[in-house]
Amino acid sequence: MDWIKNVFDLFYPHFCYGCDEVLHNGNDILCSNCLMNLDFIPLTLNNNTEMKRRFYGKLSTEHCLATLYFSEKSIVQKLLHELKYKNQQKISAFFATLTLQHLKNHEVFNWIDFVVCIPLHQSKEKKRGYNQLDGFGNELSKQLNIPFYKDYLIKTTKTKTQTKKSMWQRAESKSEFIVNAKYENLQNKNILLIDDVMTTGSTLEIAGKCILKNSTNKISVLTMAYTR
């Protein structure tokens, strides 16, 4: 029934989030040209190198992975902007598919027991209507056949822009996550902590420390993108 889809596409065309061209060939998010121009992190650099180094001496991690480099005015930045502020939630699952294609057969995917995400504060999620990691976590869960516990971490404090904070406030915000009590009995597990972009890694560090506190679990980190 391809012709029905073709007629449908004629009246309701989808546009590439990267360049605004009309999409063809079954592409739903990016055109072939933009897909080819994505800045993938070479597999040889992935894991235990740049990303892991940012956690040295601060957070114990097993694997640290990302799929794409993040830079200003890049296709990745456009995609994340649409995902976070324009209600384009399908982009979240697209990142999961891209990740599993790029990091295909990586040992981390046999290592995980379940996936958890950096949560939004309840009031922020209510306002936005979703967490931008929902689709990413759900799609990883579906394709890898492992659970995604979206409410594993709970955000307890609302963070304001980092630069506006005093040193005292920054120290205070270190307790901004707690592990949901209903998961406290899950021990000796390998947990994959996901986020959208890793820049300094400070949020992931705080969340990671919260997960590891008084627990026998281990964590790995996976983000959609990573800032060099």
Coil, helix or strand at residue 196: strand
Neighbours of 58 (CB within 10 A): 13
Residue 135 touches Zn ion, criterion: CB under 5 A? no
Shortest Å, Cβ 18 to Zn ion? 4
Question: What distances in angstroms separate CA 116 from CA 34, 133, 198, one per listed residue?
Answer: 30, 10, 16
- Specify the residue, 26 or 57, whose C-beta has the smaller distance to Zn ion: 26
Residue 18 as a binder of Zn ion (CB under 5 A): the answer is: yes
* Inter-residue contact 150 to 139 (CB < 8 Å): no
The reply on whether position 22 binds Zn ion by CB under 5 A is: no
Candidates 9-17, 106-114, 153-161, 204-212: pick the segment binding Zn ion (CB under 5 A). 9-17
171 binds Zn ion (CB under 5 A): no
Could you tell me the two tokens for 42? 């070479």
Q: Token digits for 27?
A: 């592409």
From 31, 51, 153, 192, residue interacting with Zn ion (rule: CB under 5 A) = 31
Burial of 154 (0-12, 13-18, 19+ CB in 10 A): middle
Query: Shortest gap between Cβ of 28 and Zn ion (angstroms)?
Result: 12
Residue 153 · residue 180 · CB < 8 Å: yes
Under the binding rule (CB under 5 A), the answer on residue 19 touching Zn ion is yes
Question: In whole angstroms, how close is the CB of 94 to Zn ion at the nearest point?
Answer: 13
The neighbouring-strand residues paired with 179 are 153
Q: How many residues at the interface with Zn ion, by CB under 5 A?
A: 5
Closest to Zn ion by CB, 58 or 81: 81
- Residues near Zn ion (CB under 5 A) are 16, 18-19, 31, 34
